[in-house]
A = this chain, B = another copy of it.
């Protein structure tokens, strides 16, 4: 509490962190309410694990953490015997929770969690070290019906949020199908370098198309800038086979429905037991989706979905928004991925030694919110309260009574609490984005009336009307009403019926 300016802390947040204000928070709350409702509709129940876990509970699942268990996470010891850290996702804590409570939990255990996670990553505009995830998982069943449900939840959630069919695509692939493809192409799964190069190449299908992937699978690809990326070194037969596989899905521009993609995949992996098992899984998911009323327009099979294969063991999901939005440079682009997931088996086993199959999905809260804002599906503004201006401190109780009446009627309202004059109060109401200001001075009190000023109208006017003075003269955005009609008049004004 020093008064010397040199000792004062500078008011700022650490890099990678940010403050969120009313408009974003209200939009996010509305979005999360919908997601939670859809998760609960599908039988998932809420769980909240703590923000801090033992480092050894979190495991080494971040790519950065291959060598150091605490790389990429905020870790510290405080007064504990072992290191603890802020969680970097909601899946590792779920595995810890399930392992800790396995005896008392129903199987399958189906939970969702909305929560903040933290990562020590490079920060940049739009890229933060603290963000929110919204996950749902089914733990303790190998049934692919649980995987089918992940797709249904994604589709239901997006539609409930106002994303129309045709504007999104839930895309499904299966790690076993991919492994089967590699097998029939004669690529040994143990050859991690080649497998990695092939999968990275396949993952570029969306970006470079079939020709680009063919180059990356073969000798290599030179980009427009002249940079050369070495290829996976496959021969022409192998490349053709993989490219035919990739082209079976909707990303290639074909309109293949799930049954059609399944037929192509079955041919592509024929002879590989693993691959055939994957096709059988997808077939079962397909039948459940059909029975649930989820056609190929909502959930598609997409062979070019790769994702983090070291983590996932069966079906994988990626939820893409297909409508166009301008990118940083103003070019129109598909919005891209807003949610993903897959089947994973190793997480609980880490703790207990018991194999516990699990599957689930995760919604990227910030990305989805930005998409909804781009689509106009959530409000971008926070409308402030009705502001009762204060013309005389002596009469404060009279103004207070007005505010209390408005609130009792459920109208968001406040008494101006500062000490400035009328002009500053109107500016304040404007900054608060108040819809209405209530004005009453000595004259109004004497006459038993109040003035209601519509501030929204004023804003619309300044934006739209050329000859504002004339418009206002014809149609003033302010009316006087009897004091005892305050509440009814404000309700009418909020409903847009202020000016007769």
Contacts and interface: CB of A to CB of B under 8 A. Distances in A.
A381 to B, nearest CB: 11
B80 A5 contact: no
State the main secondary structure of chain A at its contact with B: mixed
Given A19-B97, A26-B46, A418-B108, A3 B75 contact: no
A142 to B, nearest CB: 7
Given A1-B346, A432-B106, A47 B25 contact: yes
Contact of A396 (B10, B284, B398): B284
Contacts of A417: 108, 110, 138, 141, 143, 145-146, 149
Contact of A130 (B52, B106, B118): B52
Contacts of A274: none
A157 to B, nearest CB: 12
A419 B287 contact: no
Contact of A398 (B148, B291, B400): B291
A166 interface: no
A50 interface: yes
Nearest to A351: B11
Given A140-B418, A418-B143, A291 B384 contact: no
Interface string A381-420: 0101101000000001110110110011011111101110
B400 A107 contact: no
B49 A19 contact: yes
Interface in A351-397: 351-353, 382, 384-385, 387, 396-397
Interface in A57-114: 57, 59, 74-76, 78-80, 84, 86, 96-97, 99-101, 105-108, 110
Contacts of A78: 74, 120
Given A19-B48, A54-B12, A141 B418 contact: yes
Contacts of A411: 41
A43 B413 contact: yes
A286 B271 CA distance: 85
A150 to B, nearest CB: 11
Contact of A11 (B3, B96, B106, B410): B96
A396 B288 contact: yes
B414 A8 contact: no
Contacts of A45: 21-22, 382, 384, 432
A116 B86 CA distance: 13
Interface residues on A, range: 35 or more
A50 B19 contact: yes
A401 B11 contact: no
Interface in A131-173: 138, 140-143, 145-146, 148-149, 152, 156
Contact of A106 (B12, B129, B146, B431): B431
Contacts of A53: 13-14, 17
A143 to B, nearest CB: 5
A15 interface: yes
A260 interface: no
Contacts of A74: 52, 76, 78
Interface in A281-340: 284, 287-288, 290-293
16 contacts: A11-B97, A11-B99, A13-B49, A18-B50, A20-B48, A25-B46, A41-B412, A43-B432, A45-B384, A52-B129, A105-B431, A110-B417, A145-B400, A288-B397, A290-B397, A291-B401
Given A19-B47, A52-B130, A148-B400, 20 more contacts: A1-B349, A3-B353, A8-B351, A9-B54, A11-B97, A11-B100, A13-B53, A14-B52, A14-B80, A19-B50, A41-B413, A42-B407, A43-B384, A43-B413, A52-B129, A75-B76, A78-B120, A107-B428, A288-B397, A292-B404
Interface of A: 1-3, 5, 8-15, 17-22, 25-26, 29, 40-43, 45-54, 56-57, 59, 74-76, 78-80, 84, 86, 96-97, 99-101, 105-108, 110, 116, 118, 120, 129-130, 138, 140-143, 145-146, 148-149, 152, 156, 284, 287-288, 290-293, 346, 349-353, 382, 384-385, 387, 396-398, 400-401, 403-404, 407-408, 410-415, 417-419, 428, 431-432
Instruction: Pick the 7 closest A-B CB pairs, nearest first.
Output: A43-B414, A291-B397, A11-B99, A17-B50, A11-B100, A43-B385, A106-B431
